[in-house]
Amino acid sequence: MTTTTDPAITTVPCQIKRLPGNAQTPLPAYQSEHAAGMDIHAHLDGPLVLEPGQIAIVPTGFAIAVPVGYEAQVRPRSGLACKHGITVPNAPGTIDADYRGEVKVALINLSGQAFTLEPGMRIAQMVLKPVPRCVWQEVDALDDTARGAGGFGHSGV
């Protein structure tokens, strides 16, 4: 686990609990001093084969208490996505501040080949993000912008 002593980095205390039966699966950890995300490891009893197109819900062996005013986002690991087509189908997945169950990661195999997840394998990353609350102000008209109501593909992409 990488920690930081960089005064430019803000830290937020977060509670984490190993679940029964998880004495060995590593807890989420930053892999470098300035990494944005913590790697999450698969808590598996044995290998899990993910067939092409298959989605699996992978346990992690831990639960967390995200501080109020934050969310934990679960995102793909770029190496698994680019090299093997393994990604998070609901990316980013959100862990809310009031959820206390086991963190589980939905993974999908977008490649044409089966992929084997091994116990303890790094399968995703988790980023803690502040979440402001929206207070709707119902109006009769919205401010005009240069884009206006231009939707999908409006910018030429």
Burial class (CB within 10 angstroms; exposed 0-12, middle 13-18, buried 19+) of 141:
exposed
Helices marked H in the chain — which ranges?
78-84
- So what's the pLDDT on residue 148? 85
Using CA atoms, how far residue 17 sits from 22, 70, 75, 110, 141, in Å, is: 10, 18, 21, 32, 48
- So what's the pLDDT on residue 3? 61
CB pairs under 8 A, 24+ apart, for 86-93?
Answer: 86/50, 86/110, 86/111, 86/115, 86/123, 88/124, 89/55, 92/127
Burial class (CB within 10 angstroms; exposed 0-12, middle 13-18, buried 19+) of 32:
exposed
pLDDT in tens, the chain (157 residues): 556 677 888 899 999 999 999 989 999 999 999 999 999 999 999 999 999 999 999 999 999 999 999 999 999 999 999 999 999 999 999 999 999 999 999 999 999 999 999 999 999 999 999 999 999 999 999 999 988 888 887 776 6
Q: Which residues contact 40 (CB under 8 A, 6 or more apart)?
A: 28, 60, 74, 103, 105, 122, 123, 124, 125, 126
- So what's the pLDDT on residue 81? 97
Q: Quote the pTM value.
A: 0.88
- So what's the pLDDT on residue 4? 62
CATH 2.70.40.10 fits 15-129, yes or no: yes
**Residue ranges of the domains in the chain?**
15-129
